Amino acid sequence: MCGIVGYTGPRQASRILVEGLKRLEYRGYDSAGIAVQADEPQTGAPLVVIKKKGKIAALRQEVPKDLPGHCGIGHTRWATHGGVSDVNAHPHTDNSGKLAVVHNGIIENYLSLKEMLEKEGAVFRSETDSEAIAHLIAYNYEGDLEAALKASLGHLKGTYGIACVHADEPGRIVGARNGSPLVLGVGDGEMLLASDVTAMLAHTKRVVYLNDGEVVSMLPHEFRVSDAEDRPIDPRIDHVAWELDAIEKEGFSCYMEKEIFEQPESIARALSGRLDGEYGCAKLGGLNLSKKELHAVERIRVIAAGTSWHAGLVGCHLFETVARIPAAAELASELRYRNPVVEPSSLYFAVSQSGETADTLYAMREIQRRGGTVLGICNVVGSTIPRESDGGVYVHSGPEIAVASTKAFTSQLAAFYLLALSFARMHDMPHHEGTRYLEQLKAVPGLVRDTLGQRDHVQAIAKRYSKAQDFLFLGRGLLYPIALEGALKLKEISYVHAEGYAAGEIKHGPIALVSPDTPSVFLVPNDHLREKTISNMKEIKARGGPVIAVAEQGDAEVMAIADEYIPIPAVDSRFQPFLMVVPLQLLAYFIALELARDVDQPRNLAKSVTVE
């Protein structure tokens, strides 16, 4: 995925564009560029286009501080078609250099378009699919950029968020969306356009979330939304609740660290207003299903990717054990292409921090197409999954900027704990148990804060093990998904190989990996699975493998066996996932620091993946 930004108004466009790109850098960070209309609009002077391989800092160096111009577009790229280079960076221009385009998404038919456009005289300079859009709009251009874009959209196959400018139309930016997010920011005598609201939060909180198939044309004082057939659309202006502080580092060295330490507050936000003490139940207003419909649910299915899938695995465990409803979590990328059976009595949840992950979105649409009901569990308000789902729960973790998901994960867990309680109270959980469950859930933010007190201890462990090339993360039951999450965090930001495994499965193969150089991180529960997990730990020790154990404080048996012991506060085993994941996030973070990795923007990745 990539980040798009556009600005038109009285201020210096280049500054606002580069600052907006910096905010969007988490979406993609291999190259970036801007195109600004020169400040002599009447002369129709060509655009100033500056593009640079590397991060936004590299682009910033290239942009003259006093670059004139009050209207322009910018882009930060995560490469799909064509390598990482200056020339492949966006914006892309037509032959005349008067028209510039930035694009997020994939144009599947770009080769046939290219062939056609080359016959018409277009000269392609990059290896990207996106350049075809610039030449196609130029081909259709007869003095009206909006009309030219609309004439072009029908020829594009694939996904796009597009923004374009033309030197002959001063102050105008035209954008279109199909499958890649685009938000319009309505300022005071100025307008912005961006892939998400973080790029415009410093300037306005009044936004219009564009829908697929919509086109926006904007000038500093006005905007118009219409469809590709030019039928006007009445836009709804929303107010963004996020504060600017939420997207600042606020004294932390990086966003991941900030977001790990923010978890007591973000979990509390996810629970806030949703605990019904009187009935020992959860209050979830946005499900859009009657009590009768919820009661009739026979099966639950969760679809998601990456960390969100791990939250879904925990959720399904809870649906089964707490609410006694059969449940399974599936990778969205797998579901879509396997001709799934969608039963009317099943309820589906699409889980996504960003609400834009293509795999999850397309799987959700496939389920809905077959008549299934899909509820979203998402963080980003106004993103595509919550808008297209049949209802759902916002997790309110606030903006998550680091590529590695941390606070969104624990907020997703909070949503699942609330949902499981709701279903359980409809079936066979008595009132007093519901009340007790609520009390325990209410205590979680404070216990997460206590667990964060292990910071220095985990850092010391990270220092000792940072040279290891392979790690195993092992857990059982509810802690198996947490083991998967620990391994993903480590791989993702430190580039160290890690396997997450069900602890009972290691004897079926992975135990062959155990050696004095391969640490195993064990998550030891305090329930009926404790003894089994300890036996698995002993099997590793017997084969010379170092063991790092996360277990309840004061567990003398674990302390005696493990080489390293990370204590977590005592809590009912059902709630241990919240606490167990924290030391794993810290371990990954500190190992990545030891290895001098770019923690917030690890190589090859992007925050949300809007391509399949």
Rounded to 5 degrees, φ, ψ at 149 are -65, -45
Smallest separation, CB 492 to ligand M6R (Å): 5
| Cα–Cα distance measured from residue 149 to residue 144, given in angstroms and rounded to the nearest whole number | 9
Alpha carbon of 556 to those of 533, 549, 560, 565, 583: distances in Å? 15, 12, 6, 10, 19
DSSP 575: G
Strands, E, within 379-427: which ranges? Answer: 392-394
3-state percent breakdown (helix, strand, coil) of the chain, nearest 5: 40, 20, 40
Smallest separation, CB 584 to ligand M6R (Å): 12
**Is 164 noted as a catalytic residue in this protein?**
no
| Cα–Cα distance measured from residue 155 to residue 107, given in angstroms and rounded to the nearest whole number | 10
Q: Which one of the listed residues 52, 55, 258, 607 is annotated catalytic?
A: 607
Smallest separation, CB 379 to ligand M6R (Å): 8
| Cα–Cα distance measured from residue 166 to residue 383, given in angstroms and rounded to the nearest whole number | 29
Nearer to ligand M6R, 135 or 310 (CB): 310
Smallest separation, CB 605 to ligand M6R (Å): 6
| Cα–Cα distance measured from residue 592 to residue 517, given in angstroms and rounded to the nearest whole number | 18
Q: Which residues bind ligand M6R (CB under 6 A)?
A: 305-308, 352-354, 357, 360, 403-405, 488, 492, 608-609
Cis previous bond, 91, omega within 30: yes
Q: Count of alpha carbons within 13 Å of 405, Cβ hemisphere only?
A: 27
Nearer to ligand M6R, 75 or 407 (CB): 407
**Is 51 noted as a catalytic residue in this protein?**
no
Token pair, residue 284, equals 């979830």
Residue number closest to ligand M6R, CB atom? 306
| Cα–Cα distance measured from residue 97 to residue 101, given in angstroms and rounded to the nearest whole number | 11
Smallest separation, CB 269 to ligand M6R (Å): 17
Q: What is the CB neighbour count within 10 angstroms for residue 171? A: 16
Residue 498, strand partner residues: 471
**Gyration radius of the chain over CA positions:** 25
Smallest separation, CB 488 to ligand M6R (Å): 6
Nearer to ligand M6R, 17 or 521 (CB): 521
Smallest separation, CB 308 to ligand M6R (Å): 4
Nearer to ligand M6R, 200 or 402 (CB): 402
Nearer to ligand M6R, 187 or 306 (CB): 306
**Closest Cα partner for 183 from 17, 384, 9, 365?**
384
The three-class DSSP label of residue 128 is coil
Nearer to ligand M6R, 91 or 306 (CB): 306
Nearer to ligand M6R, 37 or 76 (CB): 76
Q: Which residues are catalytic?
A: 2, 607
